[in-house]
Each structure stands twice: as structure tokens, then as C-alpha cells.
Structure 1
Amino acid sequence: MRKPRKRGRIVAALLASVVVLGLFGWGALQLFHVFNGDDGDTKANAAPQSHTCAAAAPTSPALKPMALPQPAGVTMNVYNATPRGGLAKSTADELAKRGFKVSKFGNAPAPYDKKVTQTALIVAGPAAEAAAREAGTQVAGSTVKIDPTRKDKSVDLMIGSAFHTLATPADAAKARVTAANPPPPKAVCTTPTPSAR
């Protein structure tokens, strides 16, 4: 009867030793993390990252929804601001076929000649902003510039170096919807960078 009791004591002693060694090992690991500046559970205990969202700073005034005129109500001047010849006439002819009133065409005035890098720059006064947006639908990637000193209602289309061809009528129709109802500026969200410990 003594042998089973002795074997039981040995098993109990072994278990106690394993538990004690495990506790020592766990404690040593915790001390290691403390001295290294780590709490041992960085992901679980990390403060949740906050996101800051703010409205994007517009590079130009936000565009408001606006009823656009039909092409027949837009008087356009078509100017070639590129070194390529014949673009003003061919573009003016195509715009006339689409119903726009083309008043003049030719080389771009000196302030714009060979200085328009995008597909086109549409220039108009405040009274012709809606007409300028309508004109812009015909050239994908064009930009509208409103000149506050300009009083007339005509629109200047400056053909730029990136121009290849006018938008297809289908694409122009889609662009017209966007031009009449421009989307609001997108919000910019930032995540703060965690500070080093």
C-alpha cells in the first residue's frame, strides 16, 4: 500500500514543479516586455486610431447646380492654342454641326497661345458661366475659367496640347448631366501617425 502513496507524492511534486517553473517563466516574460516598453499585448491594448475627416479645400469655388442652355443658345469662339495647324477650323465646323453658334475661329490670343496643356480651356465671363459649362461638355478633360472682368456672353474654347478629338455625342450627353449637377468636394480623411515611445 505504500508504493501507490509514494508514486502519488512523486506525481504531485512533478506537477508542482512544472507549475512553479511556468509561473517563473511567465513572470520573466512580463518583466522582459516591461523593460522593453511593450505591454505584451500591443494590438489588444492599443488605443483605437481616430480618423479625422474634413471637407477638401477646393482649388476653385464650389460649383452649384445650374440649368444649361441648349447648344443653339451658346455663342462660341474656337481658338487653337497648339502648334498643330487646322484644329480651330475643323473643331469649329464640328461644333457648328452639333448646333453651337460659332462666331470666330483662329489662333489663340497671346496669353493662351501654346500655353494650354490640357485638352481645352473654356474662358467666359460670369454672365456666360452656364454656356461655358455647356461648351465644356464637348471636350473631355477641359477646364472652365470664369473671367470676372468679362461682360459679354460668348465663350472662348482654347484647344490645348492634349486635345485629340471632341467627345462623342453620347459622352457629351453624360458630361452634360455632371456639368449641370456637379458633385460636392470629397472629404479628406487622415489617420494620425502614432507617436514613438
Structure 2
Amino acid sequence: MGSEPGVQAAGGGGGGSGRLKRALLRNLILGLRKAGVASREMGFHERKSAIKRAADAALASARGDAPCWSRSLAAELARHRSSAIRPAPSAEPCKALATPPRPSREMVCKKILRRSLLRRPKPGNTTAANRAYGAGVVLARAMVRKRTNVLKEIVPGGKALDVCTLLGETLDYAVSLKAQVDVMQLLVRTLQEQKKLK
């Protein structure tokens, strides 16, 4: 494909990022052609939703089955496409605790917990500093819970994940979305340049 060098230049990233962007571009162009978004009969809202579905499908297929969000996104697209077509087994949403945490991460969590327990004030000693500490802990936990719930709403399939897996999925999803934005901007620039040449 003639646009591939431009994708790598636009990304600025190394091997994995360039491969993801090339796969995204190829899948996006194929999806847009298949959806017929260039058709004059298609209305604005219909075209907008067709482009979104093509972009989501390109992202899910370019990223593969490795992350949970990709499988959840593919399953959601398959459900929208047709209720008669069953999604592939790999396109099923992830189960809770899809990947158990590694022992090293578990050890780090235990160390952090132990340190926080050592710093915790004694129960009988209720000074102003101790009350402030308790209020701070309650506030911090509430903020973490609130932000975790927001992430579960944003990341496809996030509702079924535990917190550690959710954080990893969120990072992967954010990187993939950034690659998708770069590819779509490149596609728009290319189309604008072609219009100027005509």
C-alpha cells in the first residue's frame, strides 16, 4: 500500500506501533469500502455510524485477540451487525479475573499493604492527626472506587474485570486509541491533499 511509509512517519513509534498502524489503516480502508461510506445516497448520521463501526472493527481486528477489550469490542460489533450471526468463541467478553496477577505483583501489593499498616495510628490514640489520617484514607478509597467505575464504563468489557487487569487493559486500550487517531488523521490529510490536486 502506498500510504504505509506515511503511517510510520506519522506515528514516530518503533516496530510494534508501526505494525499496528499499518494494520489499522489497511483494515479501516477495507471497512470503509465495505460499508460504502462514499455513497451519495447515505445520510450524514448513517455515514457517521458506519465510519465509527468501521473504525472500531479495524481497531479490534488490528489489535488481535490478546487484550480483553478487543474481544469485547468485536463481540459488541458482531451483536450489532446481526442478531442471527453468532460471535466467534474468541469474540466473547472476558470473564472476571481473566488473568490472575503475577506473584511478583502480589508481593509488591503485600509490601505496600504492610507499610500502610505500620504507619496507621493506634486505635486508642485519637488525636487530630489520627482523625485527619482516617478521613484521608476514606476519601482516597472513595476517589479510587469512583475512578475505577469510570474506567469500567469506558473500556470495552471493563465491567467484568478486576482492578489490576482493568488497569492493564486501560493502558493497552489508550495506546491503541492513540494509534487509531493518528491513522484517521493521516487518512483525512491524504484525502484533503487528493482533493486539492483535482
TM-score by shorter chain over 0.5 = no
TM-score bracket, shorter-length normalisation: under 0.3
Higher helix share: 2
Q: What TM-score does the superposition give when structure 2 sets the normalisation length?
A: 0.17
- Give the greater-gyration-radius structure (CA): 1
